[in-house]
Amino acid sequence: MFRPAREHPTWRHALHTLLQVVAFWGCCLGLLPAAIEAGERALGWPPMACPAGAWLGPLLFASAGALGLWSAAVLVWRGGGTPLPLASARRFVVSGPYRWLRNPMALAGIVQGVAVGLWRDRASIVVYTIAGAVVWHTFARPAEERDLAARFGAAFARYRQEVPLWLPWRAPTPAERAAALLIATAGLRAATAATCSWPLAIAVVATAAPLVYWLWSRPHPSPAKRTSSGHNEAKSPANAS
């Protein structure tokens, strides 16, 4: 399932990566959400009725898309491979977004999926995105990390210990912790209010979840303490994605 890319010119890895991005965006962020929306309409399910989604969705999609493209470019130019597991980067990459997150491309894809749901005003697309994130986190991530640990050993174990998976974590100040707790509590209470429709409740919970994660996940060392140039000098091929 996981295999380092063959030796190819950088432009060829870039072309393969571009084709992967087009396929993923077209299928997972275009065709499938459109089919889900059509199914909702056929069942007569109401939209979320979120006017802000018309501008917030495209804004989030563009921001997350930029993060995903940046991450892919780092894998191509610094890693000598592609984001695809069957042609993964040959060199261990701990630069660019990978200094801050272990898999910024996964985070980018999840945010893009939520953005599509906001833009199309359909809660089921948000649910589809969250379900995909759970599947990736439960099945794909452990398999990928086992492969990286086998190929890179102690260096990857250290990287996994120091760099968070989902958020560029830092310990919140007491004021930030109190504010985040209030926001998360208010969101969860609004989601369970009798006057709140279930699509809006799902959207509110999806928004409050990152705050809850930030409050209770363990801290990581400051990025300044990490190796700024990464471990690209290592001889063993690996892909910190």
pLDDT at 241: 47
Buried b or exposed e, range 139-165, using 16+ CB within 10 angstroms: eeeeebbebbeebbeebbeebbebbbb
Q: Sorting pLDDT into bands at 50, 70 and 90, what band is 234?
A: very low
8 A C-beta contact, residue 88 and residue 3 = yes
Q: 82 or 206: whose pLDDT is higher?
A: 82
Q: Is the pLDDT of residue 74 over 90?
A: yes
Q: 206 or 75: whose pLDDT is higher?
A: 75
Buried b or exposed e, range 42-81, using 16+ CB within 10 angstroms: eeeeebbebeebeeebeebbeebbebbeebbebbbebbbb
pLDDT at 117: 93
Domain 1-167+225-241, CATH class in plain words: mainly alpha
- Could you report the per-residue pLDDT of 150-175, keeping only the tens digit for each? 888 888 999 988 888 887 766 666 77
Number of neighbours of residue 10 by Cβ within 10 angstroms: 10
Q: What is the dihedral of CA 16, 21, 27, 29, to 10 degrees?
A: 180
